[in-house]
Chain A
Amino acid sequence: MTGRAALASRGAAGQLMPPWLWVWLIGDLAVLIPGQISDERYQFAEYTGHGDIPGRLTAGIPYKLLLLFGVIAALTYVVLAAGAVAALFPHLRGRWVERRFRLARDDRDVITEMQGFVSQYDPSIQLRVAISSQQLARIYPAGWRTARIAVFLPLVALWYRDRRAAQAVLLHEVAHRRHGDQFVVGLGSPFTWLIRIWVPAFLLLVLAPVVVYAALGGGLLAQAVSGQGALELLRPAELLILPVAALWLAELNADEFTTHVAGPDALRHALGGSKGTDAPIAARALALLSHPPRRLRLLCAAPRPAGTVALLAAWPAALIAQLGLLIAGAFVAYLLIGQQLPDIGTDLLAGTRQFLAGNRILLITAVILLLGWPVLARPWDRLWSPRRSSAQHQLWRPYLAAATVPAALLAVSFAPLPASYAGQSPAHDTCAQLAAWNHSGGMDAKLRADSAVGPVYKAIASPQGPAVAARALESATAAALRNPPPGTARDSYVTAMTDLGAFARDVLAGRTAPAGTELANGLTADEKTSSLLAEQIRKCSVPVQVPPSAVTTTPVPSTAHPAPGSAQLTTAQLKARLLTQADLAGYAPSAPPNDFPSYSDKPVCVATLNDLSSASAPSAAVTQATAAFTAGPDGPWIEEVARSYPGLGAAQAFATAVKTLAGCGTFTLGQTAAAGTESVQPLGSVNLGRQSWSAAIATQTTIPVTEKMILAQEGTSLIALQVASAVGLPPAGQIRAIAARAIARLTQ
């Protein structure tokens, strides 16, 4: 004889499971809620600008939404705490239940018979009768050591029609009482009532903010909020797993007692009364918060050794479900804030370790309770019922097997998993410094300096002269240099502001030649700074916008010469105006590539790129010339394709190419089948020619190749400049300078 069958044969009063409801209740009141109050206070301080995040940032809508999510999530703790506290006043609950359901003592024969049956198992329980057909029978506390069963009219009818089923119902309630469950479950339980009304209320309260959030759309601000928002929204579900699991197990434990005394058929008949209920789906779903599904109860009524072990291990295993939900939520949150996959892995492992370490007390309690329950069951039973228990000690083996679950989790909590989060190492400090730098006006200073470059350039050729604008730039760069950003962007930032300041001083001094060099160097460094800052902000999820670099804000004219006329250039003219080796120091002429991919899941994208790479000849009406250079076998490679169109053909070709490439995203490519992927990330205008557009292109095949493409249209001509490399691209400013040179030659 093994498993439950063996357990069931041991005396009439054995309780199969430890009192998980009490474990959760004490843990909730003593550990979880105080800890969460502290955590919520910290978060509220953060979201309201009283923490590390400056108030200037938290004043926006995203942080208001986060605050709202936080408040709603915190209400879950309030609900759980209220339910737990209410369980501590059984006298009040008893009086309220008897008034609410009009319960009264009754001495009719049928009630006397029921009372006699119940007294066999617990003489301290008294019956009260309600003239109501809403339920069958429910236990409720009348004090710390007294309990009553409310008997409803259907049970009276059942008593005559199916005595064993009616007895099973009463035994189930007696079992709750002898397990000490009646304080938390049963008739008029504030705990289950609060849980059942809170879940729909939470969904309602969350729905409106989420709609508002969705309306906010993407962007850095929304991105920063979305990660934390996902965590906040999932928190109530995580919090409910353990209490709901404990409630289910309390019911299944009472069923086990019933099955043991009255047999599984009696329990099945009793449960048959709830078959085919026509309650709405929502009501049925909410009922699952306090009672297991009827099918599960019927399944568990069949004695199976493996089922016994599974039931005993279910509550510790609920921790695994809670951890799983936590990991899923965190994974989504990390993806939403754009965290890299390796960092996500590190953070999830660190989170797992932190979760398990934080639940060590719970796990140790579970191990002790499971191992000790064969002995503890009898005194626990006697604690609630004055009747002397006849239960013998339970078998050890199922409890020993079940204890391996919390023991294993406990062992994992000591495993050498990452102890710190990827974002909490030195990078975390950098993020805090970045937020502080932004808060102190660092980003604004950069924006002022960037904005001051364009007016200087414009004013050089103006009658008023550039002095005023140059002084403004000098002042702006000096201010910016007094507050450089932290982290990787610091060096390029200092270089950019120094060079732009030098440019301003050269302009003031009338040193034209060095001014051009300083400007080019300054713009290059500034573009790099903007790129690094954007990356850093994305990683840190700091809700600030990176202003465009001076490169894109400075309206540098495409050429000092007049724009070309509307005449289409001949092939010879185009060829003569291509970049030469003299324009590209360190590069040598090379043959243009001719092994372009022909297969893709987005053929139009590959065709457009191939076309811009001189892979295909343009129509007869279009003239074309190409040039290619290389700095080494692995690049960088430079390819220039210059075309001249009749009429407005250049503008149309530009628009068509940009429209196509901007929507490409990532796609496969190969010669006859997919051999890799290519992605096009639009970068916008680079302020060259009449109109320009650029993109970062990455090709992932055997050898990854990165590329920057610049398309520029001027008059009847269109230039496609592609700089690619397998070993690293030249600085963005240098690429733009090459493109500017190509435009200049084209329009000479």
Chain B
Amino acid sequence: MDVAGVWAERIAQRFTPAEASFAAEVGMAYAAGGSRRTELLPGHSVQPGAFGPGGWAELPMILQVLAGIGPALKAFLGSPQVANVLAAASLLTALRQGRSAESPQGPGQPAQVQPPAGSVDAAPAPAGNERQAVRQAFLALRERLEAAGFDQVRADELAYGLLEELLSDTAGAATFLDALTAVPDDGTARPRKASRRISGRRKDPR
């Protein structure tokens, strides 16, 4: 299994466990590009009267978002601000605690992340530049996810979690992003804003 398969499986197990069975194949197919990638994304070949694929398959869409923002994420992961893993971890903690502190939702509801605007008491105060870099990466990723059809709450949850995963292994993450972007889109595999149905079906039984 190549790096795209390993990371796809890792992402699926955390965010889309219902798709974990074939996650490695999905990651490798996406990295292969061409028609194999195109077929991973819902297309117009679906017959409206027939059973549609709906928004059940999220993993390909997540990979598509990561590939789309790949160069920016790679730059972020390689920046001096996140070179110190401890500093990056503290930034994420600040993000998480900021979300918990400002969230009115119950424990079962994912809360929207409010990027920390000021200091966070429970975490060491990172430098202003570092905080700003993490915040920008988070916002960019969340925006891409929303553009791909994820609702705001799910996009928020995914953006945070994906950043956490990527920051936990920045070198491996960079290789993964390289694999996703090695073969460019052929024009047919593009983000689609149609999958509004993705929202509201996030809780997997597994």
Contacts and interface: CB of A to CB of B under 8 A. Distances in A.
Interface string B124-140: 00000000000000000
A135 interface: yes
Nearest to A106: B22
Contacts of B184: none
Given A153-B26, A160-B18, A280 B40 contact: no
B48 interface: yes
B197 A154 contact: no
B182 interface: no
A277 B196 CA distance: 10
B185 interface: no
B48 A274 contact: yes
Contact of B49 (A109, A272, A287): A287
A294 B48 contact: yes
Given A133-B39, A154-B53, A161-B18, A276 B44 contact: no
Query: 5 closest A-B pairs (Cβ-Cβ)?
Result: A274-B52, A291-B49, A273-B54, A160-B18, A278-B194
A276 B194 CA distance: 8
B63 to A, nearest CB: 11
Interface of B is mostly: loop
23 contacts: A108-B21, A110-B21, A131-B29, A131-B39, A133-B42, A135-B51, A136-B54, A136-B56, A153-B40, A158-B56, A159-B18, A160-B206, A161-B204, A273-B53, A274-B54, A279-B48, A283-B44, A288-B49, A290-B47, A291-B47, A291-B49, A292-B49, A293-B49
Scoring A154, A156, A159, A293 by chain B CB atoms within 10 A of each residue's CB, the highest score goes to A154
B56 A154 contact: yes
A251 interface: yes
Interface in B42-92: 42-58, 60
Contact of B56 (A161, A271, A294): A161
A136 to B, nearest CB: 5
A128 interface: no
Nearest to A292: B49
A462 interface: no
Contacts of B43: 134
A482 interface: no
Given A131-B29, A290-B47, A154 B57 contact: yes
Interface in B180-200: 192, 194, 196-197
B163 interface: no
Nearest to B206: A160
B205 interface: yes
Contacts of B60: 133, 153
Interface string A264-300: 0000001111111111100110011011111001000
Contacts, number: 135
B51 A137 contact: yes
A330 interface: no
A660 interface: no
A274 B45 CA distance: 12
B94 interface: no
Interface string B23-51: 00110010000001001111111111111
A157 B19 contact: yes
B112 interface: no
Contact of A156 (B21, B47, B192): B21
Contact of A160 (B54, B194, B204): B204
B205 A153 contact: no
A136 B53 contact: yes
A132 interface: yes
A152 interface: yes
Interface in A131-165: 131-137, 152-161
A168 B41 CA distance: 23
Nearest to B12: A157
Contacts of A4: none
Contacts of A161: 18, 56, 201, 204-205
B170 interface: no
Given A133-B57, A154-B53, A251-B49, A278 B197 contact: no
Scoring A136, A172, A288 by chain B CB atoms within 10 A of each residue's CB, the highest score goes to A136
B19 A274 contact: no
